[in-house]
Amino acid sequence: MNERRMLGSDQELLDEHYEKVIAEESVCISDNLVYGKPETLTSTPMHYCPGCGHGVAHRLIAEVIDEMGIQEKTIGVAPVGCAVFAYNYFDIDMSEAAHGRASAVATGIKRVLPDRYVFSYQGDGDLAAIGTGETIHTCNRGENILIVFINNGIYGMTGGQMAPTSLVGMKTTTSPFGRDTHEMGYPLKITELIAQLPGVYYCSRVAVNTPVHVRKAKKAIYNGFKYQELNKGLSFVEIVTNCPSNWKMTPVESNKWLEENMIPFYPLGDLKVPKKEN
């Protein structure tokens, strides 16, 4: 599939959802607008590989912060992993956490500054392997923060090792013959685990591989910040994304692989939405 054709199929998808999405949310901007750089992003060139989803995810967060006008009141927490330098790109106050501890660091910030908007941005190794304890307990306490979880099924920064979310049979540098469940266990659907915790107010899984997915992802991020503003408790947004470099694919191939393998296992959509209040 070449890029043009892929965009074509995305356009069809977009048409299908366009009305619904636009009707749902005013933060979605009409797509004939010429995009500028959000104020909340710095001018530092990103270190992310070509085609990586991190850049889009960063941009969406920055756009939401801009649109909500909360740049001066937002504090972000960066993880260890590919997004370790996230603080170079967001023009907001940020804290760089130890591996896996971002949600604990975010808890510390939010507890002493309850009127600020606090979010953590974490990869799958960070959030669902070394930081599982902090993740579960932060969510279970219902900390009034937003956790953005980037799931690409692999350790990017360290060079493509198996992640807790690597799919069964997926080849990585530490599962060179494919993830074997007998030896290596199963991919962890941590978002499903999180969704059932009473402290979690909002839980959604999105992607950024197509325009329509990007729009839905932005809405989910917006919801997360909005619920925080309303003091509702924890919001958890998983972004299923690609890792062209470590999946050893071109960006286009990786997006196709994502669509055909990752998304069927990690289905997109809301896992927990607030009950309608009268």
Partner 1 sequence: MKELKLMKGNEALAEAVIRAGCDAYFGYPITPQSEVLEYLSKEAHARTGMVVLQAESEIASINMVYGAAGTGKKVMTSSSSPGISLMQEGISYIACAELPCLIVNVVRAGPGLGTIQPAQSDYFQAVKGGGHGDYKLIVLAPATIQEMVDHVKLGFELAFKWRNPIMILTDGALGQMMEKVELFPQIPRSFEIFEWATTGKRKERERSIITSLHIQPEKMEEINIHLQNKYRAIEKEEIRYEMRDCEDADIILVAFGLTARICRKAAELAKEKGIKVGIFRPITLFPYPYEVLNKLAGNTKMFLTVEMNAGQMLEDVKLAINGKADVEFLGRMGGIIPTPEEILLKLEEINQGVLQNE
In the complex, which residues of this chain contact partner 1 (CB under 8 A)? 71-75, 77-78, 84-85, 87, 90-98, 101, 104-109, 111-113, 116, 133-134, 137
Torsion of CA 58, 231, 94, 44, to 10 degrees: 30
Query: Is the Cβ of residue 101 or residue 218 nearer to partner 1 in the bound state?
Result: 101
Query: Is the Cβ of residue 130 or residue 212 nearer to partner 1 in the bound state?
Result: 130
Query: Is the Cβ of residue 90 or residue 201 nearer to partner 1 in the bound state?
Result: 90
Query: Is the Cβ of residue 51 or residue 76 nearer to partner 1 in the bound state?
Result: 76
Asked whether 96 and 105 are in contact (CB, 8 A), the reply is no
Distance separating alpha carbons of residues 110 and 116, to the nearest angstrom = 7
CB of 93 to partner 1, least distance (A): 4
Q: How many Cβ atoms from other residues are within 10 Å of residue 72's Cβ?
A: 10
Distance separating alpha carbons of residues 185 and 182, to the nearest angstrom = 6
Distance separating alpha carbons of residues 198 and 205, to the nearest angstrom = 18
CB of 200 to partner 1, least distance (A): 16
Q: Which two tokens stand for residue 104?
A: 């604990």
Distance separating alpha carbons of residues 121 and 75, to the nearest angstrom = 11
CB of 179 to partner 1, least distance (A): 27
CB of 129 to partner 1, least distance (A): 14
CB of 90 to partner 1, least distance (A): 8
CB of 193 to partner 1, least distance (A): 15
CB of 123 to partner 1, least distance (A): 15
Return the residue matching tokens 């993740």. 135
Which residues partner with 162 through β-bridges?
154
* Strand locations in 124-207 (E): 146-151, 154-155, 161-162, 200-207
Asked whether 74 and 110 are in contact (CB, 8 A), the reply is no
CB of 42 to partner 1, least distance (A): 8
What is the DSSP track for 104-145? HHHHHHHHH-TTSEEEEEEEHHIIIIITHHHHHHHHHHT-S-
Query: Is the Cβ of residue 88 or residue 174 nearer to partner 1 in the bound state?
Result: 88
Query: Is the Cβ of residue 14 or residue 127 nearer to partner 1 in the bound state?
Result: 127
Q: Which two tokens stand for residue 139?
A: 């969510």
Beta strands 269-272 and 200-207 are antiparallel
Query: Is the Cβ of residue 119 or residue 247 nearer to partner 1 in the bound state?
Result: 119
Query: Is the Cβ of residue 48 or residue 247 nearer to partner 1 in the bound state?
Result: 48
